[in-house]
Amino acid sequence: MSRAREFIPGVEKALKSRGEPAYRLAQVYNALCSGLVRDWEEATSLPKSLRAALQEEAPAAVLELTRLSRATDGTRKYLFKTHDGHLIETVLIPEKARRTVCISTQVGCPMACKFCATGLLGIKRNLKAREIAEQVFVAARDVWPERISNVVVMGMGEPMLNYKECLLALRVLNDADGFGLAARHIAVSTSGLVEKIRRFADEPEQFHLAISLHTPFEEEREEIMPVASRRSVLELMDAARYYVETTRRKLFFEYTLLAGVNDQPRHVEALAELLDHPLYHLNLLRFNWTDTGYAATPKREAKEFLHYARELGLSATLRPSRGQDIDAACGQLAAKDLRPQRATIPLSR
């Protein structure tokens, strides 16, 4: 149970202080990750006296769910408060048979991408593995008996700057004795940290990776993504090539279409030259409103961009925006500085 020891060290300490048998740790781990308990009284496999002790020493929930908002398209956004009073947001996207949870790894984000609302917040701290995974547990509990089918690490923060805790959380989500979600149903998005992309490629799990590209041109990328000044596009693509050749898995490139900025035919032509591997896939997304001064490429022009990309041989998709009316779409987390908004609905089991 080494994974459980890493994930819930405070619980293990409480169990040891009471002289509990070793198998109790596995029971507690299962209650959190599979039973989805948020109060130890719900963990009926544990003795009543132990439940009471754990309530005092190591609470089952480390995040407080303060608001749950629902969009007209069924998307849900969860506002959590951490033990030290910070706020983070998580999104659940229902689509046909899929239930995808978009989770956060940091309070705020240090990358300062100019079109992203979270980037305006700056960075407060990294989230612990349990805080990261618990976002999925809450969403899973909310939609029960339907199951979570996918997890994408595309919420608040740059996951590669919280590498250890993020990876531990993903391993718990993937663990057959934990949440039990297949690795290929988990994807991590990065703004393009070259060394961490290479490190991620060498991990044994089959997690997917997405790289935020947003323009193929060096100067433009540095303008909208300050992180780009650290490493060139060519260095980024060297790391991308290492990832696909090491893992033999498809690599996704995220591309937010910004009107008049990165949506011209010359961008498509440069992308066709840059994304020259059969395992590369371009995910296009129209900009979702944030108070950053950018505008979305019109739908017709976005479709023309997609058509031209495919015409030039690119594997590409234009993804729909979900949850815009509750500021839950890509780039919108913290769009209104996490102010209370819209109706609250009860959390169901």
Domain membership flag for residue 39? yes
User: In total, how many domains does the chain have?
Assistant: 2
Q: Under a CB-based contact definition with an 8 Å cutoff, are residues 211 and 252 in contact?
A: yes
DSSP string of 239-265? HHHHHHHHH---EEEEEEEBTTTS-SH
CATH number, position 120: 3.20.20.70
Q: Residues 150, 290: one domain?
A: yes
Q: Residues 27, 114: one domain?
A: no
Cα separation, 110 vs 160, in Å, equals: 12
> Which structural domain, as residue segments, surrounds residue 110?
64-326
Domain membership flag for residue 342? no
Domain membership flag for residue 72? yes
Q: Residues 216, 195: one domain?
A: yes
Q: Residues 49, 134: one domain?
A: no
Q: Residues 40, 122: one domain?
A: no
pTM metric for this prediction: 0.92
Q: Residues 89, 125: one domain?
A: yes
Q: Residues 293, 314: one domain?
A: yes
Cα separation, 332 vs 7, in Å, equals: 30
Cα separation, 295 vs 244, in Å, equals: 33
Find where tokens 């994974």 sit. 3
Domain membership flag for residue 335? no
The pLDDT profile of the chain, 349 residues, written as one tens digit per residue, is 689 999 999 999 999 999 999 999 999 999 999 999 999 999 999 999 999 999 999 999 999 999 999 999 999 999 999 999 999 999 999 998 999 999 999 999 999 888 887 877 889 999 999 999 999 999 999 999 999 999 999 999 999 999 999 999 999 999 999 999 999 999 999 999 999 999 999 999 999 999 999 999 999 999 999 887 788 999 999 999 999 999 999 999 999 999 999 999 999 999 999 999 999 999 999 988 777 789 999 999 999 999 999 999 999 999 987 766 665 556 555 655 444 343 333 333 3
What is the layout of strands, in order, in the sheet containing 98-102? 64-70, 76-81, 87-95, 98-102, 150-153, 186-190, 208-212, 251-257, 280-286, 316-319
Active-site residue list? 89, 330
- Among the candidates 36, 57, 78, a domain finishes at 57
Which candidate, 100, 107, 95, places its Cα nearest to that of 131? 107
| Backbone phi, psi, residue 321, to 5° | -85, 135
Neighbouring-strand partners of residue 283 = 254, 317
Domain membership flag for residue 172? yes
Q: String of b and e for 316-344 (b: at least 16 CB within 10 Å)?
A: bebeebbbbebbbbbbbbbbeebeeeeee
Q: String of b and e for 84-123 (b: at least 16 CB within 10 Å)?
A: eebbbbbbbbbeeeebbbbbbbbbbbbbbbbbbbbbbbeb
Q: Residues 26, 116: one domain?
A: no
Domain membership flag for residue 311? yes
Containing 90, the helix (H) or strand (E) segment is: strand 87-95
Q: Residues 107, 145: one domain?
A: yes
Q: Residues 109, 132: one domain?
A: yes
Which residue type is seen at 206? Q
Domain membership flag for residue 348? no
Q: Under a CB-based contact definition with an 8 Å cutoff, are residues 120 and 170 in contact?
A: no
Q: Residues 52, 77: one domain?
A: no
Which residue type is seen at 170? L
Q: Residues 47, 85: one domain?
A: no
pLDDT recorded at residue 348: 35
Domain membership flag for residue 346? no
Q: How far apart are the first and last CA of the chain?
A: 27
